[in-house]
């Protein structure tokens, strides 16, 4: 385990790196330092060809209870524009590496926006999700209104953003914020199993496929389909695709992927 005080970074095992937010006494509130450390760790994972997937976790009580309110109180609108924490979010969103959130406890405010920034989210059954900023006279500011609307739809997004009331894990599953619920305490294990499954596949294919899915949220349908077809054609020329397809047709074992680093 390496990393900083705020973010613990596991060794890369089977192509998977786990980042653990580590401010348990503050319910993992995301202070500026935490956001910078997360961005550093995610960028490092993205740049490491042996890392195929990142798992993001907290502890049993909190994935993250949002931005650190004490620090945020010191920032007015102009100060936020070029603030390192604003930049840190942009650095996280720029990653090309698949990311899975393993959520136990609360994922509130910026913590929920971090979940929404991941590609897949798995919840322990006691997890809760919310955008309580409105109760502080504020609103989501790290993409929450946009990403939540795109996964949970208008009515649930409005309800969460305008009431500030959290939802439980079964509701989060129903509206598509998470893809699976597991018994409390099991989210990290399940997220890691999914990450290892992703890590078995060729890196270029998983990254391009991920980007193609993300494009669905960025572009009009026709542009998104065009981008998908370009990525699809690029992979059609890859040796790995051809080798795997031939292996399938000949009922042979798939060829080994690129080596993973322990
Ligand atoms: N910020 C700072 N400290 C926090 C936060 C937080 N968000 N959440 C909890 N803490 C601290 C508490 O102050 C307390 O500290 P202490 O022990 O020193 O008194 C400690 O963590 C434990 O908290 P509680 O005693 O309240 O623990 P409970 O288990 O009773 O409750 C809750 C946990 C439900 C999570 C509760 O603490 C809570 O409601 N926290 C606030 C949640 C919230 O409002 N989050 C939204 C914050 S604003 C935001 O996220 C805006 C994001 C915009 C991003 C824009 C980027 C550019």
Concatenated DSSP letters for 122-185? EEETT-EEE-GGGGGT----SSHHHHHHHHHHHHHHHHHHHH---EEHHHHHHHTS-SEEESTT
Ligand 1 lined by 35 (C-beta under 6 Å): no
Query: pLDDT for 181-232, tens place per residue?
Result: 999 999 999 999 999 999 999 999 999 999 999 999 988 888 888 888 888 8
pLDDT at 253: 82
CA distance 114 to 138: 17
Helix (H, G, I), strand (E, B) or coil at 11: coil
Do 158 and 83 have their domain in common?
Answer: yes
pLDDT at 195: 98
* Residues 120-134, mean pLDDT to the nearest whole number: 97
| Domain assignment present for 62 | yes
Do 129 and 169 have their domain in common?
Answer: yes
| Domain assignment present for 261 | no
Q: Which domain holds residue 225?
A: 203-249
H/E stretch holding 239 = helix 239-249
| Domain assignment present for 259 | no
In contact, 3 and 9? CB cutoff 8 Å: yes
Quick one: tokens of 219? 């572009």
Q: Which of 141, 173, 199 is the last residue of a domain?
A: 199
The position carrying tokens 């405010």 is 109
Query: Distance from the CA of 63 to the center of ligand 1, in angstroms?
Result: 11
Between 244 and 196, the higher pLDDT residue: 196
Ligand 1 lined by 26 (C-beta under 6 Å): yes
CA angle 84, 90, 92 (to 5 degrees): 100
Do 180 and 124 have their domain in common?
Answer: yes
If pLDDT is split at 50, 70 and 90, which confidence band does 21 have? very high
Q: Decide if 67 is catalytic.
A: yes
Task: Give the relative orientation of helices 221-236 and 203-218 as an angle to the nearest 10 degrees.
Answer: 170
Do 98 and 30 have their domain in common?
Answer: yes
Helix (H, G, I), strand (E, B) or coil at 8: strand
If pLDDT is split at 50, 70 and 90, which confidence band does 257 have? low
| Domain assignment present for 6 | yes
Beta bridge partners of 181: 123
Query: pLDDT for 41-90, tens place per residue?
Result: 999 999 999 999 999 999 999 999 999 999 999 988 888 889 999 999 99
Between 227 and 35, the higher pLDDT residue: 35
pLDDT at 259: 46
H/E stretch holding 132 = none
Q: Specify the number of domains making up the chain.
A: 2
| Domain assignment present for 145 | yes
CA distance 41 to 142: 19
Quick one: tokens of 54? 């990142």
* Residues 117-133, mean pLDDT to the nearest whole number: 98
Q: Decide if 113 is catalytic.
A: yes
pLDDT at 235: 85
| Domain assignment present for 255 | no
Q: Does 261 have pLDDT greater than 50?
A: no
Quick one: tokens of 143? 């993409």
Q: Which of 39, 63, 69, 113 to mutate to test the pocket of ligand 1 (most atoms within 8 A of CB)?
A: 69
Q: What is the CATH number of the domain that holds 60?
A: 3.90.226.10
Query: pLDDT for 141-177, tens place per residue?
Result: 999 999 999 999 999 999 999 999 999 999 999 999 9
pLDDT at 2: 86
Q: The pTM is what?
A: 0.93
């Amino acid at each position: 385990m390496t990393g900083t005080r705020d973010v613990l970074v596991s060794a890369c095992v089977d192509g998977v790196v786990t980042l653990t937010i580590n401010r348990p006494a503050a319910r993992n509130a995301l202070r500026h330092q935490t956001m910078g450390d997360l961005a550093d760790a995610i960028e490092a994972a993205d740049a490491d060809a042996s890392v195929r997937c990142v798992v993001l976790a907290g502890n049993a009580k909190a994935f993250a209870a949002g931005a650190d309110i004490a620090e945020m109180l010191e920032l007015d609108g102009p100060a936020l524009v070029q603030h390192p924490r604003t930049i840190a979010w942009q650095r996280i969103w720029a990653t090309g590496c698949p990311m899975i959130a393993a959520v136990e406890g609360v994922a509130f405010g910026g913590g929920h926006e971090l979940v929404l920034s991941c590609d897949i989210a798995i919840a322990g059954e006691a997890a809760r999700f919310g955008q309580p900023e409105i109760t502080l006279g504020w609103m989501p500011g790290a993409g929450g209104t946009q990403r939540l609307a795109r996964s949970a739809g208008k009515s649930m997004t409005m309800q969460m953003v305008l009431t500030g009331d959290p939802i439980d894990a079964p509701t989060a599953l129903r509206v598509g914020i998470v893809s699976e619920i597991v018994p409390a305490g099991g989210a990290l294990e399940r997220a890691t199993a999914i990450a290892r499954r992703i890590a078995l596949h060729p890196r270029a294919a998983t990254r391009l496929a991920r980007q193609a899915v993300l494009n669905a949220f960025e572009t009009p349908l026709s542009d998104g389909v065009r981008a998908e077809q370009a990525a699809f054609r690029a992979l059609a020329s890859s040796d790995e695709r051809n080798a795997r397809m031939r292996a399938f047709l000949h009922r042979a074992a798939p060829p080994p992927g690129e080596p993973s680093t322990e």
